[in-house]
Structure 1
Amino acid sequence: MNPGLVLASTSPFRRELLQRLALPFDTCSPQVDETPKPGEGPNAMVARLAEAKARAGARQKPDHLIIGSDQCAELDGQILGKPGDHQRALEQLTAASGRTVVFHTGLCLLNAVTGEAQVDVVPFKVRFRALSPEQIDHYLRKEQPYQCAGSIKSEGLGIALFEAMEGDDPTALVGLPLIRLCTLLERAGFRVV
């Protein structure tokens, strides 16, 4: 029998993704400071935060397998986090117009009983169309993706801003790489199918 599974996230998008696996799971709110450390690159940051979220979840659910995930966008080596407001989102998407942005999604599966953590980072590249200021403004007013890495809600209208996508796991773009998660769950002895 599988141990209990917990998604350490308040994201409705991650919850919807995990529901695709048709596995019973709970959620919890991991209170984690998401501020990047000085000099920390995108892969190191999302790996650290994914594990920190899983460990925070383990304090609430100490006898479960805990899933932690974190995502950031990167443009020219600069981390694009959650914009928080319209102006910052406008700046992010203007900079991304006609260019390639890499979304880095950190994933951690933590066995709260043993403390063993499996941590991985799944990249996903997106090439943006050349966007007019009007297109960007229309998108932002319609979607309001102010709590989404890089100002993109790809599961909604954000897909219309893309020219091409490249990656091994399309669910990584939304914030929870299910293909990689299935591998981590199986390694932990958790039966997925």
Structure 2
Amino acid sequence: METSKTHRHFIIYKPYGYLSQFKSHDSKQQSKKFLGNLYNFPENAMAIGRLDEKSEGLLLITTDGKMSYFVNSQKVEKEYYAQVDGAIFEKAIEQLKCGVEIGFDGKKYQTKPCKVVKLNQTPNLPTRSQKIRDDRHGPTSWVSITLNEGKFRQVRKMTSAVGFPTLRLVRVRVGDIHLNQMQAGDVVEVDKFF
């Protein structure tokens, strides 16, 4: 997708504990951490698809509203690595692939079919700033979930719906853009996304 040269685009690794907004708009949020604490983004910058405070990973920032609309209009895949509580089994993975019922905006919502793969090894990700319980407290599993939609806290709600609550959630890919070796808090300005 072509965009004007006057627009600016950034790829960031949103750390755990940060909100996907640039500064506080509410006095109750004064103690929170914002994207603006990581980098001096342009005034008209916007996050393309948010990650909740407890989620981390790849986040695209742009000054181009058309680019934001394009990515959010379900045309671009988003891949997440989720560490779930328990040893996830094939039936739960099949349920996730086919779509599960979650709550969204006070109503029931059936998620669209998606790609789900159990990861046989723990992915090579930066250590999270807040420790996650370890296997001494019971087994955990890692799954890759690739979606074309993005409801609020969707992946977390999906894994809970099949009995495996998410302990850690990291977005690792948006379209052809990957986290690669980025570390939490890294910000890279790019000429274009796609």
TM-score range normalised by the length of the shorter chain = under 0.3
Which is strand-richer, 1 or 2?
2
User: Normalising by structure 1, what TM-score?
Assistant: 0.27
User: Normalising by structure 2, what TM-score?
Assistant: 0.27
Greater relative contact order (CA < 8 Å, ≥ 6 in sequence): 2
Which is helix-richer, 1 or 2?
1
